[in-house]
Structure 1
Amino acid sequence: MPRPRKQPARELSQFHLRLQELVSGSTQADFARRAGISQSGLNKILGGGDPSLATIIALAKAGRVSLEWLVAGVNKLQDTDIIEDFSFVRRYDVRASAGPGALVPLDDLDGTSRFVAFRTEWLRRIGLNARQAEVLIAVGDSMEPTIRDGDLLLIDRGIDSVVDNGIYVLVLGGMVLVKRIQTRRDGSAVLKSDNQHYDDEVIPAAELPELRVEGRVRWYGRTI
């Protein structure tokens, strides 16, 4: 029986060769950490994968070279005035529900992500550490008109308890929810929706340990 033909290796572009040059100056694990991506994700790109623009920017920043050099091979010096102005926050493929359905446990995150760029100075001004930030996608209409289906949510994961009458990402019964929380003197809590067509949900004090605060929503954005 004839052996199957071995598939030819994918020819690497000049971009991939320049990236290999950058990574060779350190370990793959260290370079991936500085770029904010997984080591397996870096390996895929080094093998010929096509990263998103945000990931290419993060790779250039991690390698301390200009974006223009990494993409086109010219002007190698890093333009720090541009790159250092921004922080790149991971956008995970997990959807937080602002209504019924689309309920995905945060524990299902596999490290696969893209990035959203925010001005570092703006993040600092609102008191948000980029290392503790994540971007999720809202699903459902229970938080309308404040948050709509498909909105991007910037989450402060450094907040794991109720600190004010803000909007929080919660996990309850294996479900991810976006709600306001009102605590009561008897130890219970009320989950509130901005959409008046949804009823409040009371969480008895005895069940409160099952409610986990995964972060506070600090910003949302949408396309028009």
Structure 2
Amino acid sequence: MNTVIRLGEPDDKTLRQKTFRKQFADNLNAALDRRGAIPSGYGRVIGVAELFGVSQNTAANWLKGEGVPELFRLPEIAETLNTTIEQLVVGDRGTGAHVIDEHYTVIDVHGADDDESHALYTLPETLRELGLPNGIRMMQVFSDDMDPYVRSGDVVVYDPRINRIHASGVFILNIRDTLFVRRVQCGIRGDIRLICDNNRFDDELLSEADFDAGQPDDKRIDVVGCVMARILIGR
């Protein structure tokens, strides 16, 4: 059952947004206090601006609850402050919610082993503006085998509902219980080529049978999702 956190009166969107910004500011300041490297006061504004490469006005808005970071900045902020995105957004009221006050949705963010994940909360309209569907997930990459498309530390956004290969594209594949990003090229005779953009890694030529559900677990390749977007960290 999904948990729902109420952030204000259902009909008062302005109040909900104000509460959300204030909550983020409180959690950000608490994370900075735990880090202990940036004192409170105006020095904190300067420190946050320098730490995350934003203007002092933007940093002040984050710290005072008058603004929140863009979606792509949250993984970097969480990692730098040795916390999680969920802790920054909902604080000690951690939740596995897939809806926050029906105006916020959660995106699961995980690594290549998919056994540890955290949540990124955003507005549904943000997804629409980016041309992304609801239900997307994110995976952080820890390999350079797809460089320059993505590098270690970058994040790929994918749609888990696309779990079969019907056309060429970039996919998340489960190969022997490890997730990989691969460019998939479909041949006219049913052959499927898995391509690493980094030419230091070899491509792999497969057939449709390798993706068949009847294959043994140690040989079958599962399509986890189709990549819809990339978040390039630090570049």
Report the TM-score, using the length of structure 1 for normalisation.
0.54
Mapped partners of 1:61, 1:169: distance in 2:
22
The answer for the alignment partner of 1:190 in structure 2 is 193
By how many angstroms is 1:205 displaced?
Answer: 4.0
Deviations 1:33-58 (A, max 9, x none): x36xxxxxxxxxxxxxx960223488
Are 1:128 and 2:138 matched, yes or no? no
Unaligned runs of 5+ residues in structure 2 are 6-83, 213-219
CA 1:190 to 1:54, structure 2 compared with 1: closer, same or farther past 3 Å? same
CA 1:177 to 1:113, structure 2 compared with 1: closer, same or farther past 3 Å? closer
CA 1:54 to 1:140, structure 2 compared with 1: closer, same or farther past 3 Å? same
C-alpha contact (below 8 Å) 2:99/2:106 kept by paired residues: no
Q: Which amino acid aligns with 1:128?
A: P
> What is the RMSD computed on CA atoms of the aligned residues?
3.1
Identity in percent = 21
1:154 alignment partner, one of 141, 153, 157: 157
C-alpha contact (below 8 Å) 1:186/1:205 kept by paired residues: no
Are 1:170 and 2:173 matched, yes or no? yes
SS of corresponding position for 1:53: helix
1:52 alignment partner, one of 67, 75, 87: 87
1:221 alignment partner, one of 220, 226, 231: 231
By how many angstroms is 1:114 displaced?
Answer: 2.1
C-alpha contact (below 8 Å) 2:174/2:180 kept by paired residues: yes
C-alpha contact (below 8 Å) 1:55/1:114 kept by paired residues: no
By how many angstroms is 1:120 displaced?
Answer: 1.9
Mapped partners of 1:173, 1:113: distance in 2:
19
C-alpha contact (below 8 Å) 1:91/1:136 kept by paired residues: yes
The answer for the alignment partner of 1:88 in structure 2 is 106
Report the TM-score, using the length of structure 2 for normalisation.
0.52
SS of corresponding position for 2:90: helix
Q: Which amino acid aligns with 1:138?
A: V
Mapped partners of 1:115, 1:185: distance in 2:
40
SS of corresponding position for 1:124: helix
By how many angstroms is 1:91 displaced?
Answer: 1.6
Mapped partners of 1:115, 1:158: distance in 2:
19
Unaligned runs of 5+ residues in structure 1 are 1-28, 36-49, 65-82, 96-103
Aligned pair count?
145
Q: Which amino acid aligns with 1:174?
A: D
C-alpha contact (below 8 Å) 2:155/2:233 kept by paired residues: no
C-alpha contact (below 8 Å) 2:150/2:232 kept by paired residues: no
By how many angstroms is 1:217 displaced?
Answer: 1.4
By how many angstroms is 1:214 displaced?
Answer: 0.4
The answer for the alignment partner of 1:113 in structure 2 is 117
Runs of 4+ in structure 1 deviating by more than 3 angstroms, as ranges, are 55-64
C-alpha contact (below 8 Å) 2:87/2:94 kept by paired residues: no
Mapped partners of 1:185, 1:138: distance in 2:
30
